Amino acid sequence: MWIYEKKLQYPVNIKNPNPRLAGVIISQLGGPDGELGAATRYLNQRYTMPNGEVIGLLTDIGSEELGHCEMVAAILYQLTRNLTTEQIIAGGFDKYFVDHTVGIYPTSASGTPFSAAALACKGDPVADLNEDLAAEQKARVTYDNILRLSDDPDVNDAIKFLRQREIVHYQRFGDALRRTQDTLNQKNYYSYNPEFNWNKMPRNTEK
Amino acid sequence: MSDELHSMMKRIQELSFAKLETELYLDMYPECRRALNYHQKLRDQLEVLVTEFENKYGPITTDGVVGDGWNWVKTIWPWQTDVMRGER
């Protein structure tokens, strides 16, 4: 169950519309390393994880990523206010506009609609936590690339916040991987999969 | 939109951010007494501030709707800064 809070995690206050930039930033909503993929990746992976700590972390980071979807959507909304036809065409936003007007549709910058193929749930904690570490770094690189393409300080302020969160999540997932490996067979992490051979795991959830 | 609304909201965002950071840390180190104490301090500060904000400016969650009407749908949504600036 979730509860909505009527506030952004970090303020987004963009004064100047910029359809070209919106067409790039949309990848962090619906692209392969975007926030929607992050939220669904973590929230789906958590169900079969072997310990309460990792389930808690995936729940809380996954929920934060939903808030990041809202922040990216707020950036897109504010970058596409009051556009003229000339601005839409000059900014290369016409191909998006013809299908979605200025509605917020999750797609990559190159036009591929959001796909569950962008996320992974292997059902093994070592595999999935390594996936999550890579996902955070890939999202960080995308934000780095956005910062290379943007010269609007209002946009960059929010993007820098989101970029920093990728780094913090990477640190926490590193802790989660180490914690997971500490509870497995130290001579062979791969001797069983605690998400499948769960009866071999020591119980650490209070009843 | 008043300056006080913005400064109160900013403070709520700051405290909520610190609280979330502590929660992610506590997920991995649930026995850490220092983090637990810090988390409790942030919860207490937020509770006071959120109640004050909701009474003055409107709900942050649906539980924060006060008074007679359903002002959940009357106050501004977080991305509508154009409305805040009076452009729409």
Show pLDDT as tens, one digit a residue, over chain A (207 residues). 999 999 999 999 999 999 999 999 999 999 999 999 999 999 999 999 999 999 999 999 999 999 999 999 999 999 999 999 999 999 999 999 999 999 999 999 999 999 999 899 999 999 999 999 999 999 999 999 999 999 999 999 999 999 999 999 999 999 999 999 998 888 888 888 999 987 776 655 555
Distance of CA B7 to CAs A59, B10, B13, B54, Å? 30, 5, 10, 14
The partner residue sitting opposite A9, judged by closest CB among B17, B23, B27, is B17
Confidence of residue B85 (pLDDT cuts 50, 70, 90): confident
Whole-number pLDDT of residue A204? 55
Task: Report how far residue A20's alpha carbon sits from residue A88's, in angstroms, rounded to the nearest whole number.
Answer: 8
**Which residue has 């609280």 as its token pair?**
B19
Please tell me whether residue A169 adopts helix, strand or coil conformation: helix
Supply the pLDDT for residue A197. Answer: 87
pLDDT for the residue A205: 55
Number of Cβ within a 10 Å radius of residue A192: 15
For residue A39, count CB atoms less than 10 angstroms from its CB and return exposed for 0-12, middle for 13-18, buried for 19 or more. buried
Q: Which of A6, A64, A74 sits opposite B60 (nearest CB)?
A: A6
Residues paired with A107 in a beta bridge? A113
List residues bridging with A113 in a β-sheet: A107
The residues of A whose Cβ lies within 8 A of any Cβ of B are 3-14, 53, 56-57, 60-61, 64, 70, 73-74, 77-78, 81-82, 168-169, 172, 175-176, 179
Nearest to A25 by CA among A93, A116, A81: A93
Question: Which of A9, A11, A81 has its CB closest to that of B82?
Answer: A81
- Quote the minimal CA–CA distance from A188 to chain B in Å: 23
Q: What is the pLDDT of residue A198?
A: 74
Q: How many CB atoms lie within 10 A of CB A52?
A: 13
Cβ neighbours around A37 below 10 Å, total: 27
pLDDT, tens only, B10-66: 999 999 999 999 999 999 999 999 999 999 999 999 999 999 999 999 999 999 998
**Would you call A155 helix, strand, or coil by DSSP?**
helix
Q: How far is A72 from chain B (nearest CA, A)?
A: 10
Question: Does B18 touch chain A if contact means CB atoms closer than 8 Å?
Answer: no
Cβ–Cβ < 8 Å for A93, A80: yes
Is B9 an 8 Å CB contact of chain A?
yes
State how far the Cα of A118 lies from the Cα of A44, in Å rounded to an integer.
13
* ipTM for the whole complex: 0.95
Residue B87 has pLDDT above 80, yes or no: no
Residues of B in contact with A9 (CB under 8 A): 13, 16-17, 20
List of chain A residues whose C-beta atoms are within 8 Å of the C-beta of residue B10: 11
Q: Which of B30, B61, B87 faces A53 most closely, judged by CB atoms?
A: B30
Largest alpha-carbon pair distance within chain A?
65
* B60:A10 CB<8 A: no
Confidence at residue A97, expressed as pLDDT on a 0 to 100 scale: 97
Q: Distance, in angstroms, between B50 CA and closest chain A CA?
A: 11
* pLDDT over 80 at B4, yes or no: yes
Shortest Cα distance, chain B CAs vs residue A117, angstroms: 27
One DSSP character per residue, B6-64 reads HHHHHHHHHHHHHHHHHHHHHHH-TT-HHHHHHHHHHHHHHHHHHHHHHHHH--SSGGG
Per-residue pLDDT at B84: 79
Q: Tokens for A115?
A: 């796909």
Flag whether the pTM goes above 0.90: yes
Per-position DSSP letters for A62-90, written without gaps between them: HHHHHHHHHHHHHHHHHHTTT--HHHHHH
Nearest chain A CA: its distance from B84 CA (Å) = 10
pLDDT of res. A56: 98
What pLDDT, on the 0 to 100 scale, is given for residue A206? 54
pLDDT band at B67 (very low <50, low <70, confident <90, very high): confident
| Domain positions in chain B | 3-84
Query: Is there a contact between B25 and B38 (Cβ–Cβ < 8 Å)?
Result: no
Is A64 in Cβ contact with B60 (below 8 Å)? no
Q: Do A176 and B28 touch (CB under 8 A)?
A: yes
